[in-house]
Structure 1
Amino acid sequence: MREIPAELAATYRANGWWTDETIGDMLTAGLAAAPDTPFRIHSALRPWAGTFADVELVARRLATGLADRGVQPGDVVAFQLPNWMEAAATFWASAMLGAAVVPIVHFYGRKEISYILRDVEPKVFIGAERFGNLTYDHDVTTDIPIVGIVDRTFDDLLADEPMTGHVRTDPGSCTLIAYTSGTTSNPKGVLHSHRTLGHETRQLSDMYPDDRGNQLTAAPVGHFIGMVNAFLIPVLDGSPINLTDVWNPGEALRLMRTDGLTVGGGATYFMTSLIDHPDFTPDHVSHMRYAGLGGSSVPSAITTRLSDLGIIVFRSYGSTEHPSITGSYCTEPADKRNHTDGHALSGVEVRLSEDGEILSRGPDLCMGYTDDELTARAFDADGWYHTGDIGTLDDDGYLCITDRKADIIIRGGENVSALEVEEALLGMPGVAEAAAVSAPDPRLGEHVAAVLRLRPDHPMPTIEDIQAHFAQIGLAKQKWPEELHRVDDFPRTASGKVQKFLVRKNIAATA
C-alpha cells in the first residue's frame, strides 16, 4: 500500500476521521445493538426474509467454517454474488475473521473474473450457480483452496457452532479490495483499509437525511457504493436492509405502495426509470422525498425535473478510489444541490492542476492499487490522487465536473474502459482502427458507442455482429457497444492521435 504522508495521517487521527475501530468492530457493535432489525431480499428467484440476527448467525457459522479450514487474518475472501443474503453473510464473516474481502460485481464475465482471481489469489471464493447471464465456471476457480457455491456447496462451509466475537486486526491493514474499470484494459484492484472504509461509511451515513425512510437498495453489492449501502451503513444506523437482485422499476413502485419502501437515489438511471414508468403516480413522490445522485453524469435537466416534482436533490462526486470527494447536504441551497457536484467533504482537500484536472486527498482515499505501477501514476508524494476528471470550482468552493481526462465511459454508474472495448473491436475481421466513446443515453447517462475505420473492401459489421463477438470473448454485457458508427478517418492531433473529445462531440450532436 502507498505511503501516507505522516502529517496527513496525524491530522486524520487528531480530528477523529481515522480511528482504531476495525470493520469487524463496527459490525459486531452494530449487529449486537439491533438484532431484530428486518433484513429482506426482494427477488423473484431467491426471496428471503429475516433479521440482522438471522444473517449474523449464518455469517458466524461461515466464519467458524472458514477458520476451521485455515482462513486467517490477512487472507483474501472473494465473492461474486447478486444482492442475496449469502453476500451479506460472506462480507460480515470476512470482517469478523480479519480477512480482506473482494466483492466482484455479478455481471462481470469470464475475462474479468479470471483476471481478478489471478490478481488477488484468494483463499476462498463464494459464488452463485446461476443468475441472469452469470453461470459458475469451475475452470476459473481450480486453484482456489475453498469454494462455496450458493445452492450447491455453500451450506457445507457452515459450521455447527457460530464464531463468538471477532478477530482483532490492525486498523491500518487492508480490509477491502474493490475492482473497478478504468483506462486500463483490466479491472483495477483498489485497496481500502479499515480506517479509510470506516471513515467513508460514517461520512456517507451522515450525509443521508434522518427521515429518508426504509430504503430499497438495488445497486449491486459487488460495487463499492452498493456494498457500503447494503452491508455497512444500515448496521451502523440500525436501519432495515431491503435488497433487490434485479432492478425492476415497476416492482420498485409496487413495493413503495405495499411495503412503504423508498428509493433515495444512486445513478440517475434509478430515478429516471421510476418517474418515466407508466405506473408512476404523484402518490409515489412521498416515497421518493430525496434523491442523492452520483456515480455517473448528472444532467441539470434531470435534477430540475426531479425538483419540480418536489423531490429534494443532492449530488456527490467520487470514485472507488476516493468514494466521497465532494457533495451537498439536502439542507443546502437548491441551486448548489441541483447544479454542482458539491463541496469538499469532511477532511477532504480538493485542488485543480494547471490543466484543470481534479486532485484530491482525504481520510477516505484508498491506500493504492494492487498494481504498484498504477499506484505510482495516480498518487504523488504529497498524497494527492489524480482523478483524471476535469472540473471548475466556484467562489464558494463548489465543484462542477466539465470533462473526463481518463478514457472511460460511465454507463449507469459502472465504469467501462474504452481501451478494453477498443481492443475487443480490433479483434474483429476488417477493423483497421476503433474508438470507443461515450454517447448520451436518456436512461443510463451514457452508453458505449463504437466508431470504426475499416480496411479496404471489408463490409461494415452490424451491431449484432459486434455484440456476438463480445459475448464470445466473455466481456460483461455492460461493456458491449450499443451504438455503431463508421468513419473514413478520425479527427487527429498533429502527432496522429485520435481526438476523442471531437468524436464524442460529433456523436452527441448527431444524437
Structure 2
Amino acid sequence: MQRCHEKVGARMTRQDSMVQASRRQYYLRRGWWDDTTLGQLIDHGLTGRPDTVFRVWSRTRPYSGTYRDVRDLATRVAGSLHHRNVRPGDPVIFHLPNWLEAAVSFAGLAFAGAVAVPVPHYVSGSDLGKIARLSRARVVITSGADPARCSDVVTALRSTAPSVEHIVVVGGPVPTGCEGFDAFVAHRASEPIASEPIRTDPDQIALLAFTSGTGSAPKGVVHTHRSLCAEVRSHLPILVPSSSRPQLTGGPISHAAGMLLGLLLPIHRGQPVNLMDTWDPADVFAAMDATGLSAGTGAVYFLASLLDSPDLTPGRLAQIDSVVLGASPVPTSLARRAGQLGIDVVRSYGLTEHPTITGAAVTDPADKRETTDGRPLPGVELKILRDSGETAAPGEAGEVCARGPDLMTGYLDPELNAELFDADGWLRTGDIGFLDAEGWLTITGRSKDLIIRNGVNISPGEIENVLLALPGVVEAAVIGMPDESTGERAHAVLRLRPGATRPDLEQVRRHLLGAGLTKVKWPEGLHIATEFPRTPSGKVQKFLLRRDLSSFLEPTSEDR
C-alpha cells in the first residue's frame, strides 16, 4: 500500500522544489522548527502532567478524566491502527463531534505516525465520501448517534471510497460490516502499550484538512509535523496568556481553531482541556458556574452569544478574562464592546493553510488589539499587493500575501499550488486588507467577495462593520447580486436580535451616511435573515447566500 505522503508529495512539488530547502534551513536556524513530531508534542504534554483534567461537556456523551486516561486510550487507538496494517503516512479520517473519541483518535493517529484527516461531524455522507476518495483514507471513525445518518455515511463510503477498509462507529448501533469504537480499542488490551509515539520524519505529512472556505470547492490542505508544532510552540503562546483561565472550547477540534486553541495548546502547556460538543449559552454558563472556566474564544459567534444572553451576570462576565477572536471576520464593534466590558480581546488572522498569520498579545495597546487583525507573528512575512503586482503603500488595500513557519506544504491539487503560490513561496490568500504605518493588518474582505458596480470596486467588509453598529443587528453580510445595468448591486442581509425592530432601507442608508460611507457603497437591497450558511469555522458562505438567498430569509422578509 503506497503511503499518503508519497502519493501527496508527487502531486505538490511546486512549493517543495522552489522554497522548501532554503526556508527549512532558515526556520531551523531561528528555532521556529525543530525535529519534534506531533506525536511527541502531544505525548510530552500528556505525560508531563498526567493528573490534569480532561473534560467533555455534553448532554449525550459527557466525560471527565485525566491526561493519563486520554494517553492510555490514544495508545490503544495507535495499537489498533497498527493491528489493521495502518502505517506511518497512511490517512485516517475522524468524523466526530467534540467527544472524547475525537480527541483520542487525533492523538492516537499522531502516536501512530498516521495522517489525520479531520472532518466536521455535520459533513454529509456524500461529502465525506468525496473526502475519503480524495484523501485515500484507509480507516474512517464516525458517529453512530443518529442511526439513519450513520447508515447514509456508511453507504456513501462503500459506494464512493474504495480505499476505505475499516469503518469504526462511536455510539449508537453498529451497522453490519462496521466495528464499534469500544471493540476497536479493545484489540489493544492484550498487547503491550507502546512506551512512546512512533518516530517519523518531521518533514512528513501529519494533517490533511479539507476546507471550502467561503467558496464552493473543497481544497485539500497539507501540513507537516513541523508546521503544526511551530504553530503550537511559537505562535499560540503569544495570543493566549499562560495565566488566563482555562477556556471552554466550542469550536470543533476537526477545525483548525478548535484543534489548536482548544486541544493542542492546553496539552502542550499541561493545562486542563474542556471541550463542548453543542454550544448553548445555558450549558456554557452552567459549566462556568461549576468550574470557574472562561469561554468565548474562537469564531465571533461564541463570544457574541454569551454577551447577548440575558443570563450573563457580572460574576460570569468577570470570568471571561481574555479571548482570542478569529476563524471568521471579527467586527470591530464586537471587539470594542467586549473591551469596554473588561475583556482583553486579541484578534488573529489566519487560514487553514496558514493558521496564524497575525495576532497580538494582551499587553499590546487595546486600540490595536480591538480595531486591527494583529501584526505578523514570529517568522511570518507579510506583504500587500496591488492588482499590478506592486507592493501597496501603508494604508492602501490590496491582496494579502504571506509565508511563515506554520504555512502548509501545499494543496493536494497541483493546479492550486501553481495558482496560489509564487516562485518565492508566498501564498496568495485571496483576502483584501491593508497594513498601517506600524505594520498592523486590517482585513477588509475577500477578493472574490468584491462587488463591482459600474466599474467601481466595493469591499463588503467595510460596509458590514458599519452595519453591525445598527441597533438590534447581530450579524451583517453584504453580497453582490447580478444587475443588467450596473453589473452588480450591493444587497445587505441582516440577522437581528430576538424582538429587535426591523430597520428599513432608508434607515440603513442614513446610518451609513452618518458613518461617513460614500453613496456608492450604500446597499440597494435589504433582507432580514434567520440564519446564515456557514463553514465549520463560522464564516458566512456568501456564494450560498447569493445562490439561495430566499431560503435563509424570515418569512416576512422582502426586498426594500
Same fold? TM cut 0.5: yes
The CA distance in 1 between the partners of 2:283 and 2:546, in whole Å, is 26
Matching residue of 1:399: 441
**CA displacement at 1:434 relative to structure 2:** 12
Q: Give the SS at the match of 1:190.
A: strand
1:435–1:223 CA distance, 2 compared to 1 (3 A): farther
Which of the numbers 26, 35, 41 marks the counterpart of 2:41? Answer: 26
The CA distance in 2 between the partners of 1:375 and 1:295, in whole Å, is 23
Matching residue of 1:77: 92
Amino acid at match of 1:404: R
**CA displacement at 1:441 relative to structure 2:** 4.2
1:373–1:265 CA distance, 2 compared to 1 (3 A): same
Matching residue of 1:251: 283
Matching residue of 2:154: 138
Q: Give the SS at the match of 2:348.
A: strand
Matching residue of 1:112: 127
**CA displacement at 1:6 relative to structure 2:** 3.0
Q: Give the SS at the match of 1:318.
A: coil
Kept after mapping to 1: 8 A contact 2:249/2:297: no
The CA distance in 2 between the partners of 1:252 and 1:219, in whole Å, is 13
Kept after mapping to 2: 8 A contact 1:182/1:406: no
Amino acid at match of 1:150: V
Which of the numbers 311, 326, 343 marks the counterpart of 1:279? Answer: 311
1:483–1:308 CA distance, 2 compared to 1 (3 A): farther
What are the within-5 Å matches in structure 2 for residues 416-435 of structure 1? Answer: none
Q: Give the SS at the match of 2:132.
A: helix
The CA distance in 1 between the partners of 2:429 and 2:38, in whole Å, is 26
Kept after mapping to 2: 8 A contact 1:390/1:402: yes
Kept after mapping to 2: 8 A contact 1:350/1:360: yes
Kept after mapping to 1: 8 A contact 2:238/2:360: no
Structure 1, unpaired ranges of 5+: 412-417, 423-432, 444-462, 471-475, 487-509
Kept after mapping to 2: 8 A contact 1:250/1:274: no
**CA displacement at 1:378 relative to structure 2:** 1.1
Give the fraction of aligned pairs with identical amino acids, expressed as a percent. 41
Task: Determine whether 1:148 maps to 2:168.
Answer: yes
Task: Determine whether 1:126 maps to 2:141.
Answer: yes
Q: Once the two structures are superposed, what CA deviation does each residue of 1:464-497 show, in whole Å capped at 9, x if it has no partner?
A: 9xx9xx9xxxxx99866499668xxxxxxxxxxx
Task: Determine whether 1:62 maps to 2:77.
Answer: yes
The CA distance in 1 between the partners of 2:349 and 2:423, in whole Å, is 24
**CA displacement at 1:436 relative to structure 2:** 12
Matching residue of 1:317: 349
**CA displacement at 1:290 relative to structure 2:** 0.8
**CA displacement at 1:440 relative to structure 2:** 4.6
Which of the numbers 428, 431, 436 marks the counterpart of 1:386? Answer: 428
Matching residue of 1:360: 402
Which of the numbers 192, 196, 202 marks the counterpart of 2:227? Answer: 196
Amino acid at match of 2:156: V
**CA displacement at 1:325 relative to structure 2:** 0.6
Matching residue of 2:518: none
Matching residue of 1:261: 293
**CA displacement at 1:22 relative to structure 2:** 0.5
What are the within-5 Å matches in structure 2 for residues 151-162 of structure 1? Answer: 151=171, 152=174, 153-158=180-185, 159-160=188-189, 161=191, 162=193
Matching residue of 2:328: 296
1:437–1:187 CA distance, 2 compared to 1 (3 A): farther
Matching residue of 1:370: 412
**CA displacement at 1:438 relative to structure 2:** 8.2
Kept after mapping to 2: 8 A contact 1:182/1:407: no
Amino acid at match of 2:314: P
**CA displacement at 1:407 relative to structure 2:** 4.7
**CA displacement at 1:129 relative to structure 2:** 0.5
Q: Once the two structures are superposed, what CA deviation does each residue of 1:87-111 show, in whole Å capped at 9, x if it has no partner?
A: 1111111111111000001111233
Matching residue of 1:40: 55
1:340–1:96 CA distance, 2 compared to 1 (3 A): same
Which of the numbers 11, 14, 22 marks the counterpart of 2:29? Answer: 14
**CA displacement at 1:213 relative to structure 2:** 0.8
Amino acid at match of 1:148: V
1:132–1:17 CA distance, 2 compared to 1 (3 A): farther
The CA distance in 2 between the partners of 1:89 and 1:48, in whole Å, is 12
Q: Once the two structures are superposed, what CA deviation does each residue of 1:305-338 show, in whole Å capped at 9, x if it has no partner?
A: 1111111111110010011111111100111011
Hey, which bits of structure 1, 4+ residues long, moved more than 4 A? 131-134, 407-411, 433-438, 440-443, 476-486
**CA displacement at 1:132 relative to structure 2:** 11
1:31–1:302 CA distance, 2 compared to 1 (3 A): same
**CA displacement at 1:130 relative to structure 2:** 2.5
Matching residue of 1:499: none
Amino acid at match of 1:369: Y
Kept after mapping to 1: 8 A contact 2:38/2:229: yes
Amino acid at match of 2:432: I
Kept after mapping to 2: 8 A contact 1:179/1:189: yes
Q: Once the two structures are superposed, what CA deviation does each residue of 1:9-38 show, in whole Å capped at 9, x if it has no partner?
A: 221110011111101111121111111111
Matching residue of 1:89: 104
**CA displacement at 1:178 relative to structure 2:** 1.0
Kept after mapping to 2: 8 A contact 1:5/1:382: no
Q: Give the SS at the match of 2:411.
A: coil
Structure 2, unpaired ranges of 5+: 1-11, 175-179, 388-397, 451-459, 465-477, 482-486, 498-527, 551-558
Kept after mapping to 2: 8 A contact 1:107/1:133: no
Q: Tell me how many residue pairs correspond in the alignment.
A: 444
Q: Give the SS at the match of 1:30.
A: helix
Amino acid at match of 1:265: T
Amino acid at match of 2:383: R
The CA distance in 2 between the partners of 1:163 and 1:485, in whole Å, is 53
Kept after mapping to 1: 8 A contact 2:125/2:157: no
1:42–1:183 CA distance, 2 compared to 1 (3 A): closer
**Greater Cα shift, 476-485 or 318-327:** 476-485
1:247–1:166 CA distance, 2 compared to 1 (3 A): same
Matching residue of 1:490: none
1:62–1:436 CA distance, 2 compared to 1 (3 A): farther
1:347–1:38 CA distance, 2 compared to 1 (3 A): same
Task: Determine whether 1:223 maps to 2:255.
Answer: yes
Amino acid at match of 1:141: L
Give RMSD over aligned pairs: 3.2
Matching residue of 2:519: none
Which of the numbers 332, 337, 340 marks the counterpart of 1:308? Answer: 340
